[in-house]
Chain A
Amino acid sequence: MSALHTVSNRRRWWSHREIRGWAFVAPFLVVFALVFLAPIGYAFYLSLYREQAFFGGNTFVGAANYVDVVTDARFWDGAVRVLEFFAIQVPIMLGLALVAALAIDSGRLRAPRTFRLVIFLPYAVPGVVAVLLWGYLYGTNFGLAGDVNDLLGTAIRPLSERWMLTSIVNIVTWEFVGYNMLIFYSALRTVPEDLYEAAALDGAGPLRTVFSVKIPAIRGAIVIATIFSIIGSFQLFNEPNILRNLAPNLIDTHYTPNMYAYNLSFGGQQYNYSATVAIVMGVITAIIAYVVQLRGSREAL
């Protein structure tokens, strides 16, 4: 150790192992600091002040913005809604994705590549386009929903108060089942062949293999997909924000916490309060994601 030390001491400073390491990660660190740490730091700084949109006036208010957010009914209205969305949407989406991945992995499909591609395809459609497309289908006067209602004599109005969240769940599921299927499928491909052989020797049927071998083997991937989905759910923005054009009274400016933050800053120039909302929501998301990860990895052991 000491010999190594003297050797490295004799070398020039830039060839020092540690510094060389830093040099390699520096480009990343610079970008990371610039586009990730700096904005967060700045948002935090903003959240401590209150600036008036008219007639200037910027005052330090300490934690007052945080107190306001925590007691803001509009914020919690959105937060509870994304929680509800998460509770309904994520199990459906991941369940469907898992079934699809297992089906492809089973090797019993006639055209697995086509199947895989078709399920994945919606993911390739840009989010905004996807929502516009569904917006047309949901129209009850001239859209597909109207035609279906005429045909079946039903009165389902996807853009009404009763159905709106379900309609958004449907869009997001359609968009992201393929992506999650791909995560699960690639995890399944890495399951060692000998596990299947051992299961077969023990007399396990296909169903038993799924539940006792395949699913436990990809638990890590399921936890990861769940965490991504939590983050995605809590940041719900695109879908309701575009559907707002079709149902402006139903989807209000605080329909989701992200929409609330957006409308506060760009509709009302309340940048400070908006930053506070974003930070509080970020912390809540991080806590829930962390809890899921802890639980997930503990069960994996």
Chain B
Amino acid sequence: MKIGHRRRFRRLGAITAALAASSLILAGCGGSGGDNGSAGSGAKASPQALDAALKKGGTITYWSWTPSAEAQVKAFTDEYPNVKVNYVNAGTGNDHYKKLQNAIKAGSGAPDVAQIEYQALPQFALPGSLVDLSAYGLDSLESDYTPSTWAAVHVGDGLYGLPQDSGPMAMFYNKDVFDKYHLTVPKTWDEYIAVAKKLHQADPTKFITDDPGDPGFATSMIWQAGGKPFTTDGKKVTINFQDDGSKKWTSVWNQLVGDGSIGQIAGWTDEWYKALGDGTIATMNIGAWMPGVFESSVPGGAGKWRVAPMPTYDGQPATAENGGSTESVLKQSKNPALAAAFVRWLNNGNGIKPFLEKGGFPATVKDLNDPSFVNKPDPYFGGQPVNQVLTAAAKSVVPGWSYLPYELYANNIFGDTVGKSYLAKSDLNAGLESWQNALVKYGNEQGFEVNK
């Protein structure tokens, strides 16, 4: 056990040391990160400033886990040979954010441009770690993007990135399973419940869907139901999981979680991929980026899966965003104009082509309406032109949603609270309530005024 303890101890030591170092540095230059960039002051730079920065060249660092990032960086430097881009894959999701957060707190070491998911954007934008791109006139690009993604890159009045992709939800279903058990594709959640029960009774090893309790999924489902549990106005935050939307969702989902007709295999694990391939999981209500995941990680499901619009409460089309990212410019950047120019190229220029080639789902209206994109048959889905369904979904996203300004923390403790309801197969509403209580407490401790 000796080395084991020592190894752990060393890690703890390293963490403490890192903390020590970072906070000392922070203390040394606290507040200096504020407005050293040309974008910080009131003076507005123009898009021409970005062109000038590209012409002048320089070096920037880019952190991203987008599958196409490497190809995009190569295409960019081919086009602008005097710009050098250091591309770093600093991990996926939370690993990436932890490193980013540490670099921001340390006051140095952060990249110039970083990928940030929509749900995480307020957490970085609010404390002033990101550059407001409207200072470069990029707010004029509004009409290029879908309204939901354009809203998602705003925090308050600031524009903190350009949308890279979008994840309007749709229902992916395993046609083989539906055919075998004579199920009809549900259009409403009531029908969905009936199908779920029929399937699970016919074969207890099959589940209508898999949901072990996932914060991203839960918030998207509340979004689709019209719930707006989070509102933020500066420091003032309201959290309310007892609104009609949240209750609408739990009244449906409780029925499925309660009787075990939903599987609870942890997502993104080996078991999960296998269960998607062998018919254990019959449907997934998930973002439009899912085809890429199916094709790369679920070979067993080829030819079996199809896409249909997500079931709704009243049969009218309504959906929500699930995932999706933006690229943002960090305040720490020494060359914010060049970094902003890179972001513009990535998500509003020639960077979109390599992104789409790697199976990305765009946020740009032009590409979403491009017939060659929309009508392309997908062999994995038995030749179905899946983008017809997915692009239609992009147009029926329920407006008005916003995430919590500390959504990453909220996601981290989801398992402690709502997860316990999933575990006990009991009322999700009670879980949401304890989630809310924990979030109110945390927010008030961290400088917000929550529910006051």
Contacts and interface: CB of A to CB of B under 8 A. Distances in A.
A249 B15 contact: no
Q: Which of A35, A52, A172, A266 has the most CB of B within 10 A?
A: A266
Contacts of B43: none
Nearest to A34: B17
A216 interface: no
A57 interface: yes
Given A143-B271, A249-B423, A269-B101, A258 B12 contact: yes
A93 B15 CA distance: 29
Contacts of B5: 228, 231-232, 235
B41 to A, nearest CB: 21
Contact of B412 (A56, A250, A263): A263
A46 interface: yes
A238 interface: yes
A249 B420 contact: yes
B240 interface: no
Contacts of B7: 127
Q: Which of A179, A251, A252, A258 has the most CB of B within 10 A?
A: A252
B309 interface: no
Interface stretch (B220-228, B341-349, B439-447): B439-447
B154 interface: no
Interface in B270-295: 270-271, 274-275, 280
A142 to B, nearest CB: 5
Given A57-B447, A235-B9, A253-B413, A248 B270 contact: no
Interface in B1-34: 1-5, 7-9, 11-13, 15-17, 19-20, 23, 30
Contacts of B1: 93, 176, 179-180, 225, 228-229, 231-232
B446 A252 contact: no
A interface, size bucket: 35 or more
Contacts of A247: 266
Contact of A249 (B13, B280, B406, B422): B422
Given A54-B127, A246-B266, A252 B13 contact: no
Given A180-B1, A268-B442, 9 more contacts: A42-B16, A52-B445, A55-B127, A127-B7, A141-B275, A228-B2, A231-B1, A245-B269, A265-B19
Interface of A: 35-36, 38-40, 42-43, 46, 50, 52-57, 93, 123, 127, 136, 139, 141-143, 161, 172, 175-176, 179-180, 183, 225, 228-229, 231-232, 235, 237-238, 244-254, 258, 262-263, 265-271, 275, 278
Interface of B: 1-5, 7-9, 11-13, 15-17, 19-20, 23, 30, 98, 101, 105, 126-127, 212-213, 235, 265-266, 268-271, 274-275, 280, 405-406, 408-409, 412-413, 415-416, 419-420, 422-423, 442, 445-448
15 contacts: A38-B20, A42-B19, A46-B23, A52-B445, A56-B30, A141-B265, A141-B274, A172-B4, A179-B1, A228-B5, A249-B423, A253-B412, A253-B415, A265-B19, A269-B101
